[in-house]
């Protein structure tokens, strides 16, 4: 099938259910904040290599984390005591660290300068957020993602100290439950997230869940609770 090309002057996306067998919905366009927001609202996310055009995905299966399914092991509970946590205290450094961390079976990173710039704009708009783990005052792990109504769309995480990103994830889950969120969109299935309780669902199921989520602003305190004990 021919993959549709997006125009820079039109923010509309094809139906995500029309994605090809690999999960690609379209290519082209740009990372304009309005386009990114519309993409996430439709269950679509960008992911592409350096020097390639922007590629837009809606994968099948999709990985999601039901908040009550998160597995908080005793060892992780113990590790969590080693860190201090903050929300949105240093979003720019979190996304930069996510871009530079080396990952198995991955050559380079998709988090290029234009991606960092685009998601930093979303952060300034109150749409992208970070959870950070600190040890002795130093940022040692964390994650960032985008909120769509009552869904947190996880983008990437990094860890320089064992369990620092897992601990940040546990803090995220705890507060999303308090704030009334529905679930976490983990996007592409990974064994790491599955081991923490995430599950694979069909694209159709995911899109139905997303479409039924209240898109109104959730009463939360991302921009108030800068520091968490």
Inform me whether the pLDDT recorded for 223 exceeds 70: no
Q: Are 151 and 41 in contact (CB under 8 A)?
A: no
pLDDT at 229: 46
Dist CA 39 CA 36 (whole Å): 5
**Tens digits of per-residue pLDDT, 65-88?**
999 999 999 999 999 999 999 999
List C-alpha distances in Å: 159 to 18, 31, 64, 78. Answer: 36, 26, 21, 17
Inform me whether the pLDDT recorded for 217 exceeds 80: no
Inform me whether the pLDDT recorded for 89 exceeds 60: yes
- Retrieve residue 118's tokens: 């685009």
Q: Are 129 and 123 in contact (CB under 8 A)?
A: yes
Choose the weakest-confidence range: 141-145, 158-162, 202-206, 222-226. Answer: 222-226
Fold of 5-59: Alpha-Beta Plaits (3.30.70)
Provide CB contacts within 8 A for 228, sequence distance 6+: 84, 85, 86, 87, 171, 175
- Retrieve residue 166's tokens: 């897992």
Domain ranges of the chain: 5-59, 63-228
* Two domains, one topology: 5-59 and 63-228: no
pLDDT at 33: 96
Residue range 63-228, CATH number: 3.40.630.70
In the chain, the largest separation of any two C-alpha atoms, in whole Å, equals: 53
pLDDT grade for 51, boundaries at 50, 70 and 90: confident
Mean pLDDT, the chain, integer: 91
């Amino acid at each position: 099938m021919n993959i549709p090309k997006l125009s820079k002057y039109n923010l509309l996306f094809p139906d995500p259910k029309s994605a090809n067998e690999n999960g690609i919905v379209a290519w082209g366009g740009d990372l304009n904040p309005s386009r990114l927001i519309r993409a996430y609202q439709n269950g679509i996310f960008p992911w592409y290599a350096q020097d390639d055009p922007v590629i837009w995905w809606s994968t099948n299966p999709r990985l999601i984390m039901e908040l009550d399914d998160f597995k908080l092991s005793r060892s992780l509970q113990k590790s969590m005591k080693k860190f201090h946590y903050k929300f949105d205290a240093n979003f720019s450094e979190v996304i930069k660290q996510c871009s530079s961390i080396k990952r198995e079976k991955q050559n380079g990173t998709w988090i290029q300068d234009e991606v960092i710039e685009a998601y930093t704009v979303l952060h300034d708009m109150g749409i992208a957020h970070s959870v950070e783990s600190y040890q002795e005052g130093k940022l040692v792990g964390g994650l960032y993602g985008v909120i769509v109504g009552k869904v947190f769309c996880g983008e990437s995480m990094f860890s320089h100290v064992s369990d620092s990103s897992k601990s940040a994830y546990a803090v995220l889950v705890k507060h999303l439950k308090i704030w009334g969120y529905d679930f976490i969109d983990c996007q592409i299935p990974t064994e790491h997230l599955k081991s923490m309780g995430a599950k694979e669902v069909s694209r159709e199921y995911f899109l139905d869940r997303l479409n039924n989520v209240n898109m109104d602003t959730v009463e939360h305190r991302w921009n108030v609770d800068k520091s968490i004990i």
